[in-house]
Amino acid sequence: MRAFLLVWGRVPRLWRRWIVRLIAPSFTVGAACVIERDDGSILLVRLVYRNGWGLPGGLIKRKEDVAACARREVKEEIGLDVELISEPAVVVDSRPQRIDVVFRARPAPGVDPVGAHARSVELREVAWFRAGELPELQHEAVSALMALASSALGPAEPGAVADDGDVEAGSDAALRLAAARAAGQR
């Protein structure tokens, strides 16, 4: 092994990078948003070619900033300008070799959330759901909600999630409740 490493160290850097990229597993990287209204409702989208509901988002373009990608994808898909209100959570799905960077977001100031509608041919439907009344979700949306709630809010305190689905407008309880409901779909 030591001999290999000595030889490896003499290989030009560009060649080493090319060899690593050739033999290492490759992943696609996407960005998505959990968009919340002031009343705690969450925006979900339904794709034409998949069952269940998911989050607006898509793949990052070469050299694109991940936060810019999240905002761009939301604007392209549902016509809504959003502001990102949290640090991202990262979800690694090893089977399809996909990495999703998920942001918590809300409609940008002055933007009416009612204006969200399907603007992409990929989308069948766009709808707002109360955090305690989520429809059947795609597995990526379940993972994203759980990861975002865990990273943004930390571990849940006892009694932090209301059983009846009522949440205070704009509170972190909406995200925590949505994550708990999503976890129940696993």
pLDDT digits (tens, 9 = 90+) for 23-75: 887 889 999 999 999 998 999 999 999 999 999 999 999 999 999 999 999 99
Mean pLDDT of the chain: 86
- Distance, in Å, from the CA atom of 162 to the CA atom of 176, rounded to the nearest integer, reads 9
Distance CA 139, CA 115 (A): 27
Q: Which residues in the chain belong to E strands, given as ranges?
A: 28-35, 42-47, 57-59, 82-84, 89-93, 98-107, 123-129
The Cα–Cα gap between 10 and 112 comes to: 59
Q: What are phi and psi of 139, to 5 degrees?
A: -60, -30
| pLDDT reported for residue 171 | 58
Domains and CATH numbers, the chain: 27-183 (3.90.79.10)
CA distance 82 to 108: 4
**CB contact at 8 A, 151 and 144:** no
CA dihedral 135, 141, 147, 153 (to 10 degrees): -50
pLDDT for the residue numbered 71: 97
| Residue 41, CB-side half-sphere exposure with 13 Å CA sphere | 13
Token pair in block for residue 19 = 């060899």
Confidence (pLDDT) at 122:
92
Residues in Cβ contact with 182 at an 8 Å cutoff, skipping those fewer than 6 apart: 134, 137, 141, 142, 145, 146
Residues of the chain with pLDDT under 50: 157-170
The strand pair at 42-47 and 123-129 is best described as antiparallel
Write down the pLDDT at residue 123. Answer: 95
